[in-house]
Amino acid sequence: MYASSDIHYPHYFNIFRNSLDKIEEEPCLFLLAGDIIDKGKFEGAKTVFESIANKFPNSKIVATFGNDEWNELWDKLKGEYSYIDWIVDDYKLYTCDNISIAVIGTPGALDKPTRWQIKNISNIEEIYNKRVIKVKELIIKAKTISQKTILLSHYALSRLTLKGENPYSYGELYSSKMEKIIIETRPDVGVHGHAHKGTAYATLQNIPIYNVAIPLVKDIVKIRFIKTLEGFL
């Protein structure tokens, strides 16, 4: 499977499109970890989604929302692009090469909400706390009905993939509570974006965590399950 995020159309779309052109195999799943558009500019999503769908007509595009997909646009995006599997604090099951895969999708959470969030979303801390609890429940449930689980989040999932960012801003980039949940529930793979200056890959107690923000990696990332399924995607 392949994954990307933080295209912020049109800012990084040329990098995304050039990377897309180089991929020769059609993946079962194409994951998007949010910030597909920039600052709520809805019209940019069309070009991004069509570029993927035209290249890979048989692939399932799976996405969650980033902070630049403003909350008030969620229903509009879901309605306009109904062929995208939007996953928001939920999970969906897929079968790739006879292997069942659960993708748990979430915008993610932060340790320290931004000043804008505090000003404009009165219960933002409560939202994040509830989201972490919900994600834990989803991972536990998904693991009972699938062979492999992927946690797809916009906000970063571990301090390890924040290295390169200003340490003082870590709280506005990830949630330590979410990181703890990953250690406790052990999904097979974590995928996130948001940290444009972070680290592309790390292992959190042997769980691979991919930061697929395209401003950082300058490429679309191929995701492999470690060892047991290494050759499958």
| Helix, strand or coil, per DSSP, at residue 231 | coil
Model confidence band, residue 233 (pLDDT cutoffs 50, 70, 90): very low
Q: In sequence order, which residues have a C-beta less than 8 Å from that of residue 110 and are 6 or more positions away? A: 117, 128, 155, 171, 172, 173, 174, 175
Query: What's the pLDDT score for residue 226?
Result: 57
Report the predicted TM-score, pTM, of the whole model to 2 decimal places.
0.95
> How many other β-carbons are positioned within 10 Å of the β-carbon of residue 142?
24
Q: For residues 203 and 208, give the distance between their C-alpha atoms in angstroms, rounded to a whole number.
A: 4
Residue 87 has pLDDT above 70, yes or no: yes
Residue 28 has pLDDT above 90, yes or no: yes
Query: What's the pLDDT score for residue 53?
Result: 97
Sorted by where each starts, the structural domains of the chain and their CATH numbers stand as: 2-229 (3.60.21.10)
Average pLDDT for residues 8-17, to the nearest whole number? Answer: 98
Largest CA distance in the chain: 48
Lowest mean pLDDT segment, chosen from 67-71, 127-131, 137-141, 224-228: 224-228
Measure the CA angle with vertex 176, ends 175 and 179; round to 5°: 95
Residue 21 has pLDDT above 80, yes or no: yes
Query: What's the pLDDT score for residue 224?
Result: 79
Strands (E), 56-161: 60-63, 85-86, 90-96, 99-106, 148-153
